[in-house]
Amino acid sequence: MSTRVAVVTGSNKGIGLATVRALCKEFEGDVYLTARNCGIYQGDALSPLLFSIRLNPLSEIIDKTDYGYRLRTGAVVSHLLYINDIKLYAKSERDIDSLIHTTRIYSNGRVVNVSSMNCVSGLKKCSPDLQQRFRNENITEEELVELMQRFVDEAKKGEHKERGWTDGAYTVSKIGLTVLSVIHARRLTKERPNDGILLNACCPGWVRTDMAGPTAPKSPDEGAVTPVYLALLPSGAKEPHGKYLSDKEVQPW
């Protein structure tokens, strides 16, 4: 294994796979294509596809909550790019805290959480109180967990809209992910100021994927541009950190 490693989660198809393709061309190190399971168009089945265009990723089936897995990898890794596409439904501090373990291990890394344009438009549809709480620069992980659990509980009862939430679990999950990125970046600045880790959230745009459909204006390769840009921020860069970006530009949050 190289001492420089890029791990792309959820990279069995769509934007994740396009990100792997780009990193195989641009990143000087090992690129891990990871998925939670294998099958047609997943996991190892993708390797021949990438080999056919002279790219050589490593594939791995991982559970992102498996802290032991990351520790075993971390023993030989000095630089990590971590491209993460998650939908956040935190039910406890332990659930939400597990998402920062990677950044606790690796110095000089880049962590990119793939959010969505829905998080900004969705937040504007929430009540003023919820907007204020999510935008509070001092919001804690515990408060975010409480908000996420509140949404889940109220959505189960069909009461979430009257309680001030936007409609759609996906949208709320991406709001949570973006806020979590801000929280973790703030933590890294405070707890590991000399480790050179940059953590950001980004919107890939409206991309032709299974979820977004065939009429979306961007190809998966175009959707991968901003995640790859953030992953390859040069050594010594100080910014962006704790930001939300689209089209490689910091966006108001």
Give the active site residues.
170
Q: Which amino acid is at 161?
A: K
Residue 230 CA: distances (Å) to CA of 18, 69, 238: 15, 24, 12
DSSP state of 195: S
CB distance 14 to 209 below 8 Å:
yes
- What is the C-alpha end-to-end distance of the chain, expressed in Å? 38
Q: What whole-number distance in Å separates Cα of residue 181 and Cα of residue 187?
A: 10
Task: Render 198-234 in DSSP notation, one character per residue.
Answer: EEEEEE--SB-STTT-TT-SB-HHHHTHHHHHHHTPP
CA angle, 219 then 247 then 28, to 5°: 80
What lies within 8 Å, CB to CB, of 199 at 6+ separation is 103, 110, 111, 112, 113, 181, 184, 185, 188, 241, 242
Q: What whole-number distance in Å separates Cα of residue 83 and Cα of residue 104?
A: 15
